[in-house]
Amino acid sequence: MAANAPLVPVLKDCGYPIEYAINGFDRQGNPVYDTGTVVVSFPVKAPTAEHPNFQSAGDVPLEEQAAIQALLQTYWADNSVSSTLTFKKAKPKPVFFADGTQLLDHFGKPRLEVNPQEEEAIIDQIASVLYKYKSIFKSTTMLPYAADTYPQMPYEAITKEQYEAMVSQIKAKPWELLNGGITAEVSSDDDIIGECAGGVCPIK
């Protein structure tokens, strides 16, 4: 939100973590901040987080995600279910020669490459899921699971310890401090676009 928004100091007084938005990085890799925009973090605990078999979004296998969509498509919706299924991409790994020497790039850093066999296995997994549910799915979307695309993700998984540390810093809820102190601007009742022609206005 805008750094000068009236809600920002309220959230700060409440104890919510606030930082400037990162607007890129310089040549040294240091973040470049947009001082006109801030990012506020709100710790949220899943209702089933304490369950011994709890899974976060990154833990649910592709096959299980597809089975849930098929269940909803069959028993809940008579139209297409909007769903995005995620899959884990093969991660680049260090490359070693037969003698154990590590392959380096032009800058002398370890060279990372994706194992073609792992990549092929993921492609086969996707193809298998699509074939299995081809007569059930009306449509679906698949994207690689990404938790680090941006330095400040809209949603990101945190540990129990991180959650508890953030919650311990929150001293109040925004509405407890506002007490009607911030109100929305009241729009004019003037009939600017002529909706009330003939003396009758539409019900909104």
Divide the 204 residues of the chain into consecutive groups of 10 and give the mean pLDDT of each group: 95 96 91 96 93 90 96 88 91 85 83 89 96 93 87 89 96 85 58 60 65
Q: How far apart are CA 36 and CA 24, in angstroms?
A: 14
Parallel, antiparallel, or unpaired: how do β-strands 31-40 and 18-25 relate? antiparallel
Q: Which residue has the tokens 């060279």?
A: 111
Contacts of 16 (CB under 8 A, 6+ apart): 40, 41, 42, 169, 170
Tell me the two tokens of residue 128. 């298998």
Pick from 30, 126, 113: nearest CA to 86: 126
Neighbours of 14 (CB within 10 A): 18
The helix (H) or strand (E) run that includes residue 117 is helix 116-132
Cα–chain-centroid distance for residue 176?
28
Cβ–Cβ < 8 Å for 35, 3: yes
Q: How far apart are CA 36 and CA 23, in angstroms?
A: 11
Query: What are the structural domain ranges in the chain?
Result: 1-54+150-185, 59-146
pLDDT score recorded for residue 24: 92
Where are the extended beta strands (E) located within the chain? Answer: 18-25, 31-40, 84-87, 93-94, 112-113, 141-144
pLDDT score recorded for residue 41: 96
pTM of the model: 0.65
pLDDT score recorded for residue 197: 64
pLDDT score recorded for residue 78: 76
pLDDT score recorded for residue 109: 83
pLDDT score recorded for residue 45: 93
Architecture of domain 1-54+150-185: Alpha-Beta Complex (3.90)
Cβ–Cβ < 8 Å for 86, 115: no
Tell me the two tokens of residue 120. 């092929």
